[in-house]
Chains A and B, each alone.
Chain A
Protein backbone atom coordinates (compact mmCIF):
# COMPACT_ATOMS: atom_id res chain seq x y z
CA UNK A 1 0.00 0.00 0.00
CA UNK A 2 1.76 3.08 -1.26
CA UNK A 3 0.99 5.90 1.16
CA UNK A 4 3.00 8.50 -0.73
CA UNK A 5 2.90 8.96 -4.49
CA UNK A 6 5.08 11.14 -6.66
CA UNK A 7 3.55 10.32 -10.00
CA UNK A 8 6.07 12.12 -12.17
CA UNK A 9 9.37 10.20 -12.22
CA UNK A 10 11.02 13.04 -14.08
CA UNK A 11 10.52 16.68 -14.99
CA UNK A 12 12.48 18.90 -17.35
CA UNK A 13 12.27 22.71 -17.32
CA UNK A 14 14.16 25.63 -18.75
CA UNK A 15 16.35 27.79 -16.58
CA UNK A 16 14.42 30.74 -15.20
CA UNK A 17 11.02 29.04 -15.48
CA UNK A 18 8.94 27.55 -12.70
CA UNK A 19 9.35 23.92 -11.60
CA UNK A 20 6.34 22.27 -9.95
CA UNK A 21 6.79 18.93 -8.25
CA UNK A 22 3.73 17.11 -6.95
CA UNK A 23 3.08 14.64 -4.17
CA UNK A 24 -0.12 12.83 -3.16
CA UNK A 25 -0.70 10.94 0.06
CA UNK A 26 -3.39 8.71 1.47
CA UNK A 27 -2.81 8.66 5.23
CA UNK A 28 -4.92 11.29 6.99
CA UNK A 29 -2.67 10.95 10.06
CA UNK A 30 0.14 12.79 8.30
CA UNK A 31 0.58 16.18 9.95
CA UNK A 32 4.00 17.34 8.81
CA UNK A 33 5.38 17.31 5.30
CA UNK A 34 9.02 17.53 4.26
CA UNK A 35 10.86 17.76 0.97
CA UNK A 36 14.37 16.44 0.51
CA UNK A 37 16.77 17.04 -2.33
CA UNK A 38 19.32 14.51 -3.50
CA UNK A 39 22.30 14.94 -5.78
CA UNK A 40 24.00 11.89 -7.34
CA UNK A 41 26.44 10.08 -5.03
CA UNK A 42 25.29 12.12 -2.03
CA UNK A 43 22.80 11.59 0.75
CA UNK A 44 19.47 13.44 0.67
CA UNK A 45 19.37 16.84 2.34
CA UNK A 46 16.41 18.60 3.89
CA UNK A 47 14.95 21.35 1.70
CA UNK A 48 11.70 22.70 3.11
CA UNK A 49 8.76 21.59 5.23
CA UNK A 50 5.20 22.52 6.10
CA UNK A 51 2.94 21.77 9.02
CA UNK A 52 -0.64 20.66 8.45
CA UNK A 53 -1.88 23.83 10.15
CA UNK A 54 -0.57 25.86 7.22
CA UNK A 55 -1.30 25.78 3.52
CA UNK A 56 1.83 27.52 2.31
CA UNK A 57 5.45 27.87 3.36
CA UNK A 58 8.04 29.89 1.48
CA UNK A 59 11.82 29.88 1.71
CA UNK A 60 13.54 31.95 -0.93
CA UNK A 61 12.92 30.41 -4.34
CA UNK A 62 11.16 27.39 -2.82
CA UNK A 63 7.50 27.31 -1.84
CA UNK A 64 5.51 24.34 -0.65
CA UNK A 65 1.72 24.29 -0.91
CA UNK A 66 -0.50 21.92 1.04
CA UNK A 67 -4.07 21.01 0.14
CA UNK A 68 -5.26 18.83 2.99
CA UNK A 69 -8.70 18.14 1.58
CA UNK A 70 -7.13 16.77 -1.59
CA UNK A 71 -4.25 15.15 0.29
CA UNK A 72 -1.89 16.86 -2.10
CA UNK A 73 1.21 18.95 -1.76
CA UNK A 74 3.43 20.61 -4.29
CA UNK A 75 6.88 22.17 -4.35
CA UNK A 76 7.39 25.23 -6.51
CA UNK A 77 10.84 26.43 -7.51
CA UNK A 78 10.97 29.91 -9.02
CA UNK A 79 13.13 30.72 -10.86
CA UNK A 80 14.63 27.34 -11.59
CA UNK A 81 18.41 27.14 -11.84
CA UNK A 82 20.67 24.42 -13.29
CA UNK A 83 21.95 23.73 -9.76
CA UNK A 84 18.43 22.68 -8.82
CA UNK A 85 18.82 19.58 -11.01
CA UNK A 86 18.43 16.73 -8.53
CA UNK A 87 15.98 14.13 -7.30
CA UNK A 88 13.31 15.51 -4.98
CA UNK A 89 11.62 13.32 -2.40
CA UNK A 90 8.36 14.06 -0.66
CA UNK A 91 8.21 12.75 2.94
CA UNK A 92 4.92 13.14 4.82
CA UNK A 93 5.11 12.29 8.51
CA UNK A 94 2.81 11.71 11.44
CA UNK A 95 0.95 9.00 13.28
CA UNK A 96 3.92 6.67 13.20
CA UNK A 97 7.60 6.53 13.99
CA UNK A 98 8.23 5.14 10.53
CA UNK A 99 9.31 8.01 8.33
CA UNK A 100 8.31 7.14 4.77
CA UNK A 101 9.33 8.70 1.48
CA UNK A 102 7.88 8.99 -1.98
CA UNK A 103 9.73 7.45 -4.91
CA UNK A 104 11.14 10.79 -5.99
CA UNK A 105 11.01 13.07 -9.01
CA UNK A 106 14.15 13.74 -11.02
CA UNK A 107 14.27 17.41 -11.97
CA UNK A 108 16.46 18.56 -14.82
CA UNK A 109 16.88 22.30 -15.34
CA UNK A 110 18.27 23.06 -18.78
CA UNK A 111 20.46 26.16 -19.27
Chain B
Protein backbone atom coordinates (compact mmCIF):
# COMPACT_ATOMS: atom_id res chain seq x y z
CA UNK B 1 0.00 0.00 0.00
CA UNK B 2 1.45 3.38 -1.01
CA UNK B 3 -0.15 5.21 1.90
CA UNK B 4 -1.77 8.62 1.67
CA UNK B 5 -0.27 10.52 -1.24
CA UNK B 6 -0.14 14.31 -1.31
CA UNK B 7 1.09 16.68 -3.98
CA UNK B 8 2.94 18.89 -4.34
CA UNK B 9 5.42 18.45 -1.47
CA UNK B 10 6.36 22.11 -1.57
CA UNK B 11 4.54 25.09 -3.03
CA UNK B 12 5.76 28.68 -3.15
CA UNK B 13 3.33 31.19 -4.54
CA UNK B 14 2.70 34.88 -4.59
CA UNK B 15 -0.02 36.51 -2.59
CA UNK B 16 -3.27 36.59 -4.51
CA UNK B 17 -2.59 33.47 -6.54
CA UNK B 18 -4.73 30.36 -6.48
CA UNK B 19 -3.25 27.28 -4.81
CA UNK B 20 -4.53 23.72 -5.21
CA UNK B 21 -3.37 20.90 -2.95
CA UNK B 22 -4.09 17.31 -3.85
CA UNK B 23 -4.59 14.11 -1.90
CA UNK B 24 -5.08 10.44 -2.70
CA UNK B 25 -6.28 8.47 0.34
CA UNK B 26 -5.48 4.86 1.12
CA UNK B 27 -7.63 2.54 -0.94
CA UNK B 28 -10.60 1.34 1.07
CA UNK B 29 -10.52 4.17 3.57
CA UNK B 30 -13.86 5.92 3.64
CA UNK B 31 -12.93 9.06 5.61
CA UNK B 32 -10.59 11.85 4.54
CA UNK B 33 -9.37 14.77 6.60
CA UNK B 34 -7.54 17.98 5.78
CA UNK B 35 -5.38 19.46 8.56
CA UNK B 36 -3.20 22.55 8.73
CA UNK B 37 -0.16 22.69 11.01
CA UNK B 38 1.61 25.80 12.26
CA UNK B 39 3.93 26.36 15.18
CA UNK B 40 1.46 28.66 16.87
CA UNK B 41 -1.74 26.66 16.45
CA UNK B 42 -0.55 23.10 16.04
CA UNK B 43 -2.65 20.69 13.97
CA UNK B 44 -6.04 22.13 13.11
CA UNK B 45 -8.80 20.19 11.38
CA UNK B 46 -10.06 22.13 8.37
CA UNK B 47 -12.64 19.78 6.89
CA UNK B 48 -13.44 16.10 6.69
CA UNK B 49 -15.32 13.87 4.27
CA UNK B 50 -17.09 10.60 4.84
CA UNK B 51 -17.87 8.50 1.77
CA UNK B 52 -16.93 11.52 -0.39
CA UNK B 53 -19.47 13.78 1.36
CA UNK B 54 -18.26 16.83 3.31
CA UNK B 55 -19.39 16.38 6.89
CA UNK B 56 -17.88 19.23 8.86
CA UNK B 57 -16.14 22.26 7.37
CA UNK B 58 -16.33 24.42 10.47
CA UNK B 59 -12.55 24.52 10.62
CA UNK B 60 -12.16 26.15 7.22
CA UNK B 61 -10.78 29.59 8.06
CA UNK B 62 -12.79 31.61 5.55
CA UNK B 63 -14.43 31.57 2.16
CA UNK B 64 -11.07 31.65 0.42
CA UNK B 65 -10.71 27.98 1.31
CA UNK B 66 -12.68 25.25 -0.43
CA UNK B 67 -12.37 21.47 -0.61
CA UNK B 68 -13.81 18.82 -2.87
CA UNK B 69 -13.81 15.06 -3.04
CA UNK B 70 -15.19 14.06 -6.44
CA UNK B 71 -14.51 10.34 -5.87
CA UNK B 72 -13.19 7.95 -3.27
CA UNK B 73 -9.59 8.24 -4.46
CA UNK B 74 -9.06 11.99 -4.82
CA UNK B 75 -9.53 15.22 -2.91
CA UNK B 76 -8.43 18.81 -3.40
CA UNK B 77 -8.02 21.76 -1.09
CA UNK B 78 -8.05 25.10 -2.87
CA UNK B 79 -7.09 28.53 -1.58
CA UNK B 80 -8.13 31.50 -3.70
CA UNK B 81 -6.76 34.10 -3.29
CA UNK B 82 -3.83 33.03 -1.15
CA UNK B 83 -2.40 35.24 1.60
CA UNK B 84 0.91 35.12 3.51
CA UNK B 85 -0.92 33.98 6.67
CA UNK B 86 -1.92 30.82 4.82
CA UNK B 87 1.70 29.67 4.94
CA UNK B 88 1.72 26.35 6.79
CA UNK B 89 2.06 22.62 6.29
CA UNK B 90 -1.17 21.09 5.03
CA UNK B 91 -1.74 17.42 5.81
CA UNK B 92 -4.25 15.06 4.36
CA UNK B 93 -5.18 11.98 6.41
CA UNK B 94 -7.47 9.04 5.77
CA UNK B 95 -9.11 6.46 7.95
CA UNK B 96 -11.23 3.37 7.76
CA UNK B 97 -14.77 3.12 9.04
CA UNK B 98 -13.55 2.21 12.50
CA UNK B 99 -11.36 5.25 12.99
CA UNK B 100 -12.41 5.57 16.62
CA UNK B 101 -10.22 2.52 17.20
CA UNK B 102 -7.58 2.83 14.52
CA UNK B 103 -6.87 6.53 14.21
CA UNK B 104 -5.70 8.18 11.04
CA UNK B 105 -2.87 7.73 8.54
CA UNK B 106 -1.27 10.95 7.40
CA UNK B 107 0.24 11.87 4.08
CA UNK B 108 3.65 13.51 3.82
CA UNK B 109 2.15 16.99 3.75
CA UNK B 110 2.41 20.02 1.50
CA UNK B 111 4.55 22.88 2.76
CA UNK B 112 2.92 26.05 1.45
CA UNK B 113 4.73 29.38 1.42
CA UNK B 114 2.87 32.46 0.29
CA UNK B 115 5.11 35.47 -0.34
A, B in one complex: no
- Spell out B's residues near A (CB within 8 Å): none
